[in-house]
Structure 1
Amino acid sequence: MLSILIVDDEKLACADILYKVSRSGFGFKWVMEASSAEEALEKIKEHKPDILLTDIMMGEMSGIELVKIARSYVPGLASVLISGYSEFNYAKEAIALGVVDYLLKPVRQEELTGTLSKAIAIGMHQRNVLQSLFNGGKLEDDRLNESQREQLIAFLNGMKTSLDFSAAELFPANAEFYQIGVFRLSSCTAGQSEGRVPLKSVEYEGVTDQSLADIGDNSGKGRQYFDKLRRAVQDIIQEVGGPWFLTFHNFAPNQQITVIAAAFHKDRKKSEETILQSFHEINRRIHRRLNIVLYAGVSGLEESVTGALLTQARQALDLRFSLESSPEGRIFYWREWEEKATYNLPEEEFKLYQRLLAAGDLKEALTTVQRIFSVDIPGTAMHIRMLYVELICILARTCIKKAGGNIVSMLGTECLSGGIIDEFSDREELVESLCRTITTVLSQWMAVTADARSVLLIVKSYIENNFTSSELCTNFLSQKFCISLGYLSTSYNKEFGINITKYIITLRIDYAKKLLKETGLCIFDISESCGFSNLSYFMRTFKKHAGCTPNEFREK
């Protein structure tokens, strides 16, 4: 995923751009901010962002000078200049610099979204991430050239609304109809509630049985596990679909796989039946071989690959928030619920919620949110992203007026774009998380948001008081304090000079040393007392940090 840096010496202008970047629908790894060109250069040197959005008129160094210097640190930096001045000489300099675009304040949402689309294409090309994100193997070499691959990845991740080439080029010559399916791999084994990774359900080299906290914390082993699990699922998809199925794994979340399926029958009904049978067979094989729960949303059938198909597939997948599913997962077919796709958003409820936030009436605001999501009909589920995004954006707009842009960066683009929806397993979890976010923002952030360090100090204090909890990890802290995972990880590391995972491990190992010296507890009990849920993992970690085993340390 790409990162972006926004530079403006006017706090409200920066907050406005930040908000509109978040509303663009593009998922960035982290959205950074700087209030001067000098501060921006420090962040560019350290973090090497992919995209730079900068105001032109700022203090001693202008945005144009910033772009020139920044490129010596990041040669392929995609830059966008923003200015309240419309003199032609600025535009002329921007053209000479080869920037992606030159925008005038106030920047309109549609203008910025279009510019970001172009900047993302440049950033993706410079990072050469297209090849690594695409499903490996012969498909990459034999069926897609670089331009097609770039367009498909951009299209499936919302950066393009259509393809500039015919999808028929990717399939056997007589492809007639297309569908898109979005698979969601649950982090639980069949028959279990979500909350435990099925490490024992399928064996992969180099992946050991460790706690869900380690997996959820994006540890090396956790990423390795999900990467191998995705590849295993993709292999099954290709086994069933053959040359008629193209598979891609999404930027985020890492539990989703998108499939473009084609059919050769000229009869629409026959094509539809054939593809759906394949999707159901894929579900059966994945359940049988990997013992994981799979949900899938499948679009309608069209004669070309369009953005509408992608929207339909996601809407169908979101039906899992309202409809019952079996222990083996479920395939949700959009066509069966097409009539429910027309849904009137509760505009009056939105207005009431906005008034309650502005008045600081947290209790009634939360009641309104719960009422909006309490309607248990498929139409609500199919538009759950729109509901969530609108409620979060009303919250962000309210807070920007009172506290500035830090609120938006802490929430993160995954919140304001609706991408976070894919991380929830059910509607109750989604609503609980949303209410927790609203509560945290209004009751905690508002008082300290002018000094973002205060929030990080609260997180640090929590870690120091709870490091013996086995569930403690960056992901857990991100959810508890309702802070974007990217913002929390990067800001904490910069503020305290150590990443959160290393800090937690350091505290645990120091405590283990204390227990080894001062108590007669056995190694297993010490491991558990320090927050390690796996003895062998504790032994390896201790030796790595202390240079000897726990028993050797105790003897010394």
Structure 2
Amino acid sequence: MYKVLLVDDEYMILEGLKYILPWQELGFDIVQTAKSAKEALAYLSQHPIDLLITDITMPEMSGIELVENAQQQGHRFFTIILSGYQEFEYVKKGIALGVKNYLVKPVDKEELKTTLLQIRQELDEQAAWQKQQKIFQETAVLRWVHDEMNEAEFHTLQNQVAQRVTGPFTPLVAQGSFENLQKIQNYFDARRQMLSITSHISENSYLLIYEGSHRQLLLDIHHLEEKLTSTSWQLIIGETVTEWETLYTSYEKIKQIQSLQEFYPDLLPVKNILKVEMSAKEEELPFLSFNKALMIGDMATIRQELDQVFDELLKIQARPEHVRTVSFLLFIDLYRYAPVLTPEDYERIVAKIRKSETILELRRLFDQILEVIKEQPQNKRYSDTIQKVVSIIHKQSGEDLSLKTIAEELHLSVVYLGQLFKKETDLSFNQYLNQVRIKKAQEMLLETQQTINEISEAVGYNNTNYFSKMFKKLNGLTPKEFRDIYEKGYEGI
């Protein structure tokens, strides 16, 4: 039902309009009547409507002034003007304000009905268009958090939302009852946080990419807590990132927290709000930096990042369960980057993390894991099919390579191969291909004197600017910075 507000200073006119037509059969619901423009504006300040039907001549403020004021305050609706006489100046002003029709009193029943049917058709078309736009936007947000979006597509997403989004960005996932998820959605919508996935609310999940500072997000969440009922809800908050390209790494941590909840609930505190950094204070732990250190692949750099994480845990006097949770999240990153580790290694190391009691014990465990990775350079974890794909990628990464061409070569379905590849590597085909290309670029930067342009072309990128962006996205350094820092000393993991 589309919402209608009736405004007239004559009581009998208002009552007559209520019964002149079967409003609900026509798709409309009269949600409010008002005897003055001020009364109508007060209602509009709290409630959206789809159609305003107002008298033109009223005390203090005319119907035209009512529409003008409402539009200036940001309200959008269709309008029908009623008048006791035909006045050209009023008609002209009404046209300028987008008034749908100007009806002379006494209102002709059939003329009003015809106008309402026209408005309903336009409202239906608007609703369908808005629904389609929301689907496009939600699809784009999902592709963004899964690292499947390029720069042009991100700019398209920016243009779809009400305001230009520039960051910082923090992903958060809400889980809970339908009622609480609706409240969470309405709360963030009111704060113009529009980068969300609302279509899964009926499945008890809501995803939001919060735009703004980490501090402001925590303030908003503090106020949000007061509006939610019982304990049938939970928020998992990712790390705040400044560059849209790295958002996926923060979202991955949320998925890892959800995996922990399912398989190792003892590693997590029972709280309504779980922050990925898991610290008692507001300092953020550098999971993003650790991911980049792993991609750089230098043993000293990786150990330095680990030292920073565990030093921070010591500094804030983190509780043992928090330390174990952080350790698990760090290990998941190592496991994904090191296919030499087997499922048996995974279970053994997770068991050690769960039994560990001190920060020092866990820090030493990571040194042991790094040594295991370094001593076993061959992939051991992938199935024969995925190992074949990996071998093709490494041999042909400098060529124009796609999942489709490999699937055809292996006589497999593209969809099946893509799903299997993602399941075993925890990366999409394009993510894996980019990592292989960037690793080869690292080798060439350290072992040759070739220019950035030459290396870019050699590893499979036709566009040097895109190559440099991808290199910095994965390493946190430009190709030149990487060469300058590591050409004098690099110990590969």
Q: TM-score, normalised by structure 1?
A: 0.25
